[in-house]
Chain A
Amino acid sequence: MRFTLNGETREAASPPMSRLLDVLREEFGLTGTKEGCGEGECGACTVLVEGEPVCSCLVPLVQVDGATVQTIEGLGDDHPLQHAFMNEVGAQCGICTPGMIMAALSLGDSPSLDEVKVALAGNLCRCTGYSAIYRAILKVKSP
């Protein structure tokens, strides 16, 4: 199985029905993608496949054959959203943060607050009550 992971072509040896989440975390050591529920409800494992946010716990490896996959590690450590999440305290415990940031990446330019809420509706946060996350995203996307 071959796919583009964070801009590089990678060959995966895991069985084709392996969860993409496990392949990322265990075969490639990209542990920034988190598991919160294993059933596509919490969004902590959100990655971008062909630019679209998906729950990597629900995606079998075979489905990304030939596709592009982006994880939080693909953003490096200097992305404006990362700084905004830090400065606006959009991250408390931090376990939902990588998934939140990946979901936020799929937003277009200058989203309204309602558009942000809809984009994040598949990502659960138990710490912040979401408000600080909106503040972080709007600061970057709708300054």
Chain B
Amino acid sequence: MTRWVGASVPRKDGIGKATGQARYADDLVFPGMLHGRTIRSTVPRGRVRSVQLDFDPTGFTVVDFHDIPGRNACELIEQDQPFLVERDVRHMAEPIVLLAHEDRERLLAATVDIEYDADTPVFDPLESQGVLKAIDIVKGDVDAALAKADLIVEGTYRTGHQEHVYIEPNGVVAVPEEDGVVVYGSLQCPFYVIKALKSLLGASRHIRVVQTETGGGFGGKEEYPSMIAGHAVLLALKSGRPVKIIYDRVEDMVATTKRHPSIVRHRTGVTRDGRLVAMDVEVVLDGGAYVTLSPVVLSRGCIHAAGPYRCDNTRIRGRAMFTNTPPNGAFRGFGAPQTEFAIEVHMERIAETLGMDSVTLRELNALAPGDTTATGQVMRDDCSARLVLDEAVRRTDFRAKRDAYRGSNRAVGLSLFYHGAGFTGGGERTLNSKARLDLTERGVRIAVGSTEIGQGTRTMHAQIVAEAMGIPYEAVEVAQPDTSVVADSGPTVASRTCMVVGKILEECAVEMKTRLGAMSPAEYFAKHGGFSVLRKFEPPDWVEWDDHTYRGDAYATFAWGCDVVELEIDRDTFEVRPIALTAVHEFGRPIHPALARGQIEGGTAQGMGYALLEHVVMRNGAMANAQLTNYIIPTSLDTPEFDVVMLENPYPGGPFGAKGLGELPMDGPAPAVVNALRALALDVREVPATPEHLAECASR
């Protein structure tokens, strides 16, 4: 029995948020502070011919690329994306000039005339000649197996952009300090920002990054805040004053990252009795104008592309392509929602072709312990594909409902999915994350760079430490992520904050407890003073991965899910009304059941928006509906009732058996919705399935 782990204790940050006292980036005010603004490109591709300031410069600070003391490249996987355009423009809304002024009205009224020599842009990833990253996964002999298959089913599936719509837009404040600068910001990865700023500023300037309370991230504040921080720092250093840059909603939607659009093509060989014998998959992602995180998004997308199924002959060919649109980036699920949409809709079509029950097809092929994935990873006992499928089918009485609704305007649809937790392949080993626990006069303090972005980092980490040390939850405090104070526990991404960082904290706590002996933290502190325990992450010793051949254990473990959605369609307007959604998830063990449930409900709602509502309209390389008036996310009235089931199958490598959870719920809703629409005789192969698109499908 555990006391704190498994209990829904009050959130550490709950009351601050419920009283409005929590401080977000835009709530910070510093004496002498200026407001910053970014002047952006208005062509999708070309060269800057001239830049003309068309305002009275009194009181303004103006920055362009000449003001960069170090390297004009936003350091990430590659160094190809400039902080400020020097000459070549590769997408709309690319930053060119920065302005700052203490009066916001004057700042917004200032105009800058930029002339360009325009080039012909490329918007279609299938027409692009620029391969940003290629990945090939090969298992067995696909061509031979396809030749011998009883049937071959083919299909092409598409997904569109998706905008994060964290309700707090991006924002940072840069404040000059004696020998350097401190950045306060709404962000997920303070140590990414530090790395980018060090490259930008060169020299040995002292830089500190502090995460303020962050109003949602979902991946959207993983890489882009480094860019905004760079801009604010350049303005702050030139003016010698604090500079705040807060994007408004339009700028946030037009300029920052989105989910990668995808085109996934399947050719699958099956036997008449429904066994998958060959899977040939091609994945194309639209990377946008710079590399940013696209190689790793493609990697996760490809690894998940064969779905949670066994098949001895699998070939997955992935390409991320350059186009002249703003770079696409991290978004909850990170490539997997796109490819799992494709395979789950394809499975439904395979069943249809075979004349077979699609649940039976999944039962026959679902991964089980001992089976191998496309990368050759052997499933261990924590593989739960059948567990979640069986429970979802039983609980919803899926087959009976499906049959009963036939011929009506109501239908049910199902999807089976999985999500690898933590960085892909050798990523966790390379990250070499650290966590630290401090013994203080108040008790124990967690000092990690993992950020609270709503998911409950502070609370869940404190529970793990309290449990492992046998001390009250209230005696554990959590330091605000400040890069000069906390240990670099790696980025807050990839469903790794609980499973990976939580595990290091558990080990820190065990070590601290041993050192305290029979004494309480207070007794020890009174007698000997404080001390700290710092530990590094050690991946399980059996994890093997070859980045060149793409063979091995892609993830230490996977979380599993099965969604069943029930919906109704209006045959005149093609409006779809989701009625209920059952989400059966297995993610080891919930540390905090109410927080875990919140992740599942919230991620599922986001997935429902992806499925039905969220349509990014791109015109001439820029988002044309960059407003919440016409980019529609689910409201309370669009969101169905959720029936959430959390099954347990502890993972020995996680803290108290926990796996990663945050991204899993995003993978299931879109294919479940489209599979329900298929039961209504609508042959849908892309999302969002807007009424306009469904009308098109119906008239085909």
Contacts and interface: CB of A to CB of B under 8 A. Distances in A.
A87 B635 CA distance: 23
B287 interface: no
Interface in A105-143: 116-118, 120-134
A94 B15 contact: no
B455 interface: yes
A92 B452 CA distance: 9
Given A34-B215, A37-B628, A126-B216, A89 B20 contact: no
A78 B249 CA distance: 32
B162 to A, nearest CB: 12
A123 B165 CA distance: 13
Interface string A83-102: 10111111111111110010
Nearest to B168: A95
Nearest to A44: B167
A60 interface: no
B602 A94 contact: no
Given A38-B249, A39-B629, A97-B17, A126 B598 contact: no
Interface in B448-501: 453-456
Nearest to A131: B601
Contact of A93 (B20, B215, B606): B215
B213 interface: yes
Contacts of B14: 85-87, 89, 91
B134 to A, nearest CB: 34
Given A34-B215, A73-B20, A96-B167, A127 B454 contact: yes
A4 interface: no
A131 B17 contact: no
Given A96-B167, A124-B633, A130-B636, A86 B15 contact: yes
B662 to A, nearest CB: 11
Interface in B212-264: 213-218, 248-249
Instruction: Give the secondary structure class of A's interface.
Output: loop
A86 B166 contact: no
B601 A128 contact: yes
Contacts of B597: 89, 132
A132 B27 contact: no
Interface in B148-182: 164-169
A93 to B, nearest CB: 3
A56 interface: no
Contacts of A129: 598, 601-606, 634, 639, 642
B456 A95 contact: no
A80 B65 CA distance: 53
Given A93-B167, A93-B216, A126-B165, A117 B636 contact: yes
A129 B456 CA distance: 16
A120 B636 contact: yes
Contacts of A128: 598, 601-602, 605
Interface residues of A, number: 56
Contacts of B165: 124, 126
Most buried by B among A42, A83, A91: A91
A34 B11 CA distance: 21
B166 A126 contact: yes
Nearest to B214: A93
Contact of A132 (B18, B594, B603): B594
B10 interface: yes
A131 B32 CA distance: 43
A97 B18 contact: yes
A117 to B, nearest CB: 4
A25 B244 CA distance: 15
Interface in A37-87: 37-39, 41-42, 44, 71-73, 75-77, 81-83, 85-87
A65 B523 CA distance: 59
- In this complex, the member of B19, B164, B456, B635 whose beta carbon has the largest number of chain A beta carbons within 10 angstroms is B19
A34 B27 CA distance: 9
A33 B24 CA distance: 11
A122 to B, nearest CB: 8
A125 B454 CA distance: 11
Nearest to B593: A89
Interface in B572-611: 594-595, 597-598, 601-606
A51 to B, nearest CB: 19
Contact of B454 (A75, A92, A121): A92
Given A72-B19, A83-B18, A94 B628 contact: no
Interface in B19-57: 19-24, 26-27
B13 interface: yes
A36 interface: yes
A131 B602 CA distance: 9
Interface string A13-37: 0000000000001000011111111
A91 B18 contact: yes
B637 interface: yes
B598 A127 contact: yes
B450 to A, nearest CB: 15
A87 B10 contact: yes
Contacts of B16: 94
Given A32-B21, A91-B17, A125 B637 contact: no
B532 interface: no
Given A77-B21, A91-B11, A124-B633, A38 B602 contact: no
Given A95-B24, A129-B604, 5 more contacts: A36-B168, A36-B628, A77-B19, A91-B17, A127-B454
28 contacts: A31-B24, A31-B26, A36-B169, A36-B215, A37-B628, A71-B20, A72-B19, A73-B19, A73-B20, A75-B19, A76-B19, A86-B18, A89-B594, A91-B14, A91-B17, A93-B217, A94-B454, A95-B166, A101-B18, A117-B636, A123-B636, A126-B167, A126-B216, A127-B598, A129-B604, A129-B606, A129-B639, A133-B636
Interface of B: 8, 10-11, 13-24, 26-27, 164-169, 213-218, 248-249, 453-456, 594-595, 597-598, 601-606, 627-629, 633-637, 639, 641-642
Give the 4 A-B residue pairs with the shortest CB-CB distance, closest first.
Answer: A32-B20, A94-B17, A95-B215, A93-B454
